[in-house]
Homo-oligomer: A and B are copies of this chain.
Amino acid sequence: MTVTDELLANAERYAQSFDKGDLPLPPARGVAVLACMDARLNPYGLLGLTEGDAHVIRNAGGVVTADERRSLAISQRLLGTTEIILIHHTDCGMLTFTDDGFKASIEAETGLKPDWSAEAFGDLEEDVRQSIRRIQADPFIPHKDKVRGFVYDVRTGKLTEVLAS
């Protein structure tokens, strides 16, 4: 019995009481959230989101790379979102290593050096600003007047906005 099997049992229960089968494809609230994949950060609980409300995009760090720009372009151009909420968080794993060190350890084990940036960062707030700047610099994301960035505190549950420095 794997953990996946246990989670599938939860999914069966979810389906049994499911009553949200008529929701439209475009997000009701017109928002895309881009957050770190961290297990302690639950965008649904934190922002009060429910099924149908918002696009949720997540990766290691909540950083903006080509794939997030692709997702945001699709979200805005095809599905009508106009606001973007970026969320990094305290005690992030991305603060605990460097790109060079991580890639060197992988190369030592596999003989291959990753051909991607690991996107590690040393300053949470500065990386939120970096993410905002990457979105502002992207030519394919049309709506950029409502892009805001935040740091979530995993100890207190508080969300704090990162303002331009």
Judged by a CB distance under 8 angstroms, whether A108 is at the interface is: no
Q: How many residues of A contact B (CB 8 A)?
A: 88
Q: Which of B60, B69, B75 contacts A37 (CB 8 A)?
A: B75
Q: Which of B46, B50, B94, B146 contacts A2 (CB 8 A)?
A: B146
Contacts of A70 in B (CB 8 A): 59-60, 65, 114, 116-119
| Minimum CB–CB distance for A86 against chain B, Å | 11
Is A44's CB under 8 angstroms from B42's CB? yes
Contacts of A114 in B (CB 8 A): 70, 73, 140
A154-B58 contact given A29-B3, A31-B7, A48-B10, CB 8 Å threshold? no
Judged by a CB distance under 8 angstroms, whether A66 is at the interface is: yes
| Minimum CB–CB distance for A155 against chain B, Å | 4
Judged by a CB distance under 8 angstroms, whether A123 is at the interface is: no
Q: CA A96 – CA B91 in complex, angstroms?
A: 39
Q: CA A3 – CA B65 in complex, angstroms?
A: 25
Is A45's CB under 8 angstroms from B156's CB? no
Contacts of A60 in B (CB 8 A): 57, 70-71, 74-75
Judged by a CB distance under 8 angstroms, whether A144 is at the interface is: no
Is B83's CB under 8 angstroms from A48's CB? no
Mask, A37-68, CB within 8 Å of B = 1, is: 11111101111111111111111100001111
Q: CA A14 – CA B158 in complex, angstroms?
A: 8
A-B pairs, top 10 by smallest CB distance, nearest first, are: A18-B157, A10-B48, A67-B67, A27-B39, A60-B71, A15-B157, A11-B159, A7-B47, A60-B74, A21-B155
